[in-house]
Amino acid sequence: MPKKLRIGFVGSGGTANNHANRLAKRDDVKIEAFCDVLYPLAQKAAETFSARAFRSAEKMFDAVELDAVYFCLPPCAHGDEFLAIERGIPFFIEKPVNLKLDQAQAIARAVARKRLITSVGYMNRYRKSAQTVRKMLAGDPAILVLGGWIGGTPRPAPGPGIWSWWIQKKKSGGQFLEQVTHTVDMARFLCGEAVSVHAFGARGMNKIAPKNYDIEDASVVNIKFKSGAVANLHAACSSNASGGITLNVHANQMAALFTGWEHSVRILQRGKDPVEITGEPDIFEIENDAFVKAVLRKNPSLIQSPYADGVKTVAISVAANESMKTGKPVAL
């Protein structure tokens, strides 16, 4: 393995640039290439980071020798992971890992056969707040989980930005699958595996939404865990007067109240003073550091969420979408 990890990007939008800005500051990384079906995005990123630009992942992989690759794509745009796997290239993939569960599971099987190091962008797992609460719940298991994301009506800007696909169900999977996946993953991280999902969605009430908007205005998702714990998670992209991100975990002798995108937590324990843990200001830097070191040291134990684990999280959201469509519970 070279002294500098040679990294390429599949997808060259805002999320890719977010990671690249941090990786470029490292002395053990060299950003080599970007590709995007929207070629001007790849060109712009390549110019910024003195890299090469390509129109497709296959052309990039054939032309550039890479030690690792970042997949920063909409949920509907996956499949090129197979190209990286064939070449034995470890990869980091942004959440959620896919819109199609069968394809995600096939990718997971291929990763397992190659024994590749992979990482999913569930950055909240690396936070001190999440790690502390998880250790506490090992002795006092969660019973009830409440939380979700409440935001306002999407306001698409001109051009190929996130809102051009995020507001379309066939491309994003809806707000619960694409955005609230962080909360779903935290629930799994703290409570263990889910066994059943029952969800309901609200539609047609977001009167000021753009014309091509067809995702749910809001949704509520009930989850039953193997442990016996239950969760009620919510999503809304139609609340223009108030909003926020929350996750409240209640056990027998303690409660953990997470707030904000940074997941600061207030831990309440029976008979003890409250404990406050502030969320890290740059969690992307922390998750990138874990991936880079894992690849350089060939040590997958540094990764908090490998690809196969990310598939289990998206399976809950795919089941929620199915339940919203049929009105019936879905067993996992």
- Using only C-alpha atoms, the chain has a radius of gyration, in whole angstroms, of 20
pLDDT in single tens digits along all 332 residues of the chain: 557 999 999 999 999 999 999 999 999 999 999 999 999 999 999 999 999 999 999 999 999 999 999 999 999 999 999 999 999 999 999 999 999 999 999 999 999 999 999 999 999 999 999 999 999 999 999 999 999 999 999 987 666 666 689 999 999 999 999 999 999 999 999 999 999 999 999 999 999 998 889 999 999 999 999 999 999 999 999 999 999 999 999 999 999 999 999 999 999 999 999 999 999 999 999 999 999 999 999 999 999 999 999 999 999 999 999 999 999 999 99
Query: For the chain, which domains are there?
Result: 5-122+284-306 (3.40.50.720), 124-280+314-331 (3.30.360.10)
Distance CA 68, CA 55 (A): 18
Q: Check residue 169 and give its pLDDT.
A: 97
Q: Check residue 133 and give its pLDDT.
A: 98
Adjacent-strand bridge partners of 223: 197, 231
3-state helix, strand, coil in the chain (%, to 5): 40, 25, 35
- What tokens does 249 get? 């975990």
